[in-house]
Structure 1
Amino acid sequence: MLWAALSLPCAPDGTPPSNEALHGLAVWALQFTPRVAIADDAVVLEVEASTRLFGGRRALHERIDGEGREIGMAAIAWAPNSLAALACVRAGVLNGVRQPLPQVLDALPMGVLSAVAPHRLTLAQLGCRTLGDVRRLPRGGIGRRFGKGLLDALDQAYGVQPEAHRWVDLPETFHARLELMARVDAAPALLFGARRLLVQLCGWLAARQAGTTAFTVRWAHDGAHLRPGGDAGGTGWLTVRTAQPMRDVEHLCRLLAEHLAHVRLQAPVGELALEAPEVVPLQAHSASLLPQDGPAGELLPRVLERIAARLGPGRVWQPVLCEDHRVEWMQHWQPAPQPVRGPRIAPPPVPQPGFILPEPLQLAVRDNRPIYQGPLMLLAGPHRVEGGWWHRAGDDATNHHVERDYWVALSQHAGVLWIYQVRLAGDATAWYLHGAFA
């Protein structure tokens, strides 16, 4: 598993970030994974299943780090579980997956775990300075003296016990508020704070797979406060509309800058708020290597013709279905520019595997049962395939006649497999693995 912990800076007086700020960061992080939770003074998210979608761990790290800094994120750390990631981000260790987890955590100060805080003075008097020192204490003594909570926190951080989280729900509507670090006298200067809110908005839109056609920026003058969906005395507002659904931060910022250039503030502004009243679903662009057939994209045969003309004859091939029930010869390959000839083949009435081995693999047999990473359980079959005595391929004199009984089998470790037994063979107990189901 891969977890990330995102932290926000504390106030100058040491006050931890507010719940509103943590919730805003968590809502923005929902665009990367639905498994987002607030843990103490940070936001943790499980991103193992999202790394491939965002181009790998490095690309995902760069995107979260780059966009997160714009909305006030102070640091990011990675670890195999959320509690370890939280400990790493507090200690300033940004990569907790490069080394074995016990080696990483043992060297951290013991204060990085919240469960240590109530007992920190006593543990320090016992000579403990790091998590490794605490973990090396007798478990029975820790449980009796400090309670089960400290042991559970240590076990969860080191991956011995599972964790439980309360996931953050994606809100149906968007509203974000920002208190400016200094009073602003000119409207164009509001763009600096508004951009931070727009980044949050685009993260929320990405999580909803939607775009906005209008957003409203509200500001409050000195002594006034903003309320979601309403105005108070001494406030102003500006609505920006787009020609089509949009969630591009740069484009929305440019539009807002043009509108703010025509606004004159009545008094210094100390607070901003952003709302998105008009949200519509936004169809994502296909990430396929080849274009999709249909009115919105170029037809695949035309693309193949153009690629073949560019690369030369015989460089681009396409599969063609054949009227043959033997799996090895159900298709053949021909140059892409040539038209596909032959009848349309109806799908087979029995399950067909998604992956075929180049050559069937003979299986071991124990007590008349085939074995592949453990004994196989026969689920369906037999499906008899027989024929091919007529098959001659050029100068190939090999007899391609087959007489097989196919079965769908289940392996405890390898999944669902496609195996067969050769009929009328000298060794009637021989089994072969021919494919696997996706």
Structure 2
Amino acid sequence: MIDGEGRRIVSLWFSRLASDRVLRACPVEGPFVLTAKLQNANRIYCLNTAALKEGLHPGMSYADARAFCPDLQSRVAEPEQDQRFLRSLCRWATRYCPWVGLEGEDGLVMDITGSAHLFGGEEAMLADMRSRLMRVGISVQIGLADTRGAAWALAHYGEGIAPRGDTLKALRALPVAGLRLEEQMSVALQRLGLRCIGDLAQAARGPLTRRFGPGLLLRLDQALGAQPEEISPQSDPPHYAVRLTLPEPIGLIDDVMAGTRRLLEQLCTKLNTQNMGARRLCMSLRRVDQGQQQVELRLARPLRDPKRILPLFQRGLSEIDAGFGIDMLRLEATQVEPLPVQQMNHVSDGGKDKLDDLTSRLGTRIGLENIQRFLPADSHIPERSFIISPAAYSDPAETGFGAQPRPLSLFPPEPIAGSGARPPARFRWRRMALTTQRVTGPERIAPEWWLEDDNWRSGMRDYWRVETRQGRRLWLFYTPQNPGWFVQGEFA
């Protein structure tokens, strides 16, 4: 839709959206702030009214804030949760009008043309919005005007209702920042003496265009209604769920699997249209006695191939109790991830797909989190050179960070008898007499001084790969600072 004559736009600005969201769930008495890593420092991201009264402000260093307010309470900001909360507010606002969209990261824009009379007029509608939001602990500033730009300016700097057809009168005394300008341009206009929107509207347009470009006057014309501005409602996210109602109850596993196949084909078609893949599926089965059972399937990788997904449902569906029969099936993808189209070629094989399917099958029995793999870590210390991660939520690494090979079996250092800086010719390890045949090394590894590790307080180590005549291939190290030999691993 485009702004035009007779249109009325509402702008809602939630100046403390992040802190209000947190305090609704966990109320706090006194000053409270949310912090985030900004400009290489821990700074205030959002704060409540009590913190504002103490002289704190967004962008302030958290250390300085604690100096001003010793009893300050804080939590780490979660911008993703804030945006999810804002989208829920967007859905709530559709009770007033169908045209509701997001305005930046902390606001909403609403086209209430033709709907204000349903709530007793514009003033009554805005009062109802404010009272409902304040009742649940959400602070808001509201502006209403003929244009989107004017409503935004009133919400941020004036908070009021602009009369119909006379937008300039309501905006005249507001600062030029109300035109949604960049901070640098706003400061430059104030230095020229153009501090208010009324001053800017009366200034010559030619010099302003030559100095600041066409964007400045475009914002002014949009606010005053001389230029149109698009207003698009927030679209609902796609819902990945399909349902099958049966004319006659079924109870055999073959019939249930046949119905599941039909639902999977419909769901995967929808997923393919959106270039998405399912990571978690939930099958709901309703019996004729209104009882309901669910079978959940978690996948090791996002999928949208019904032929690969269907066999994974076999075990879960075979354990259901059909009772007197099942008359409705519902399949929903409760967790989806992007799955772009990939180019196929004649040399590719399905080895990775088979491994993912095997992981999914095992995961239905013991849990996906219990199927793990080793991944390299950015450290030369043997004990810190790897991490353990769930296989379903990580990709295998081709190589590690170190250029030198590492033993397949790694264990705590075990001392052996030896002297000198080279591996001993003969030594005993785990009650075995071993004779050195070939050695490779040394590889010197220094301790990471920024980490506290009691096992490395003895200093650097010289590692050797030792092949013995008895067939053992061991990983030995020597400590020059405190002379001694140790075995820490064994190669395959």
Q: Which has the greater radius of gyration?
A: 2
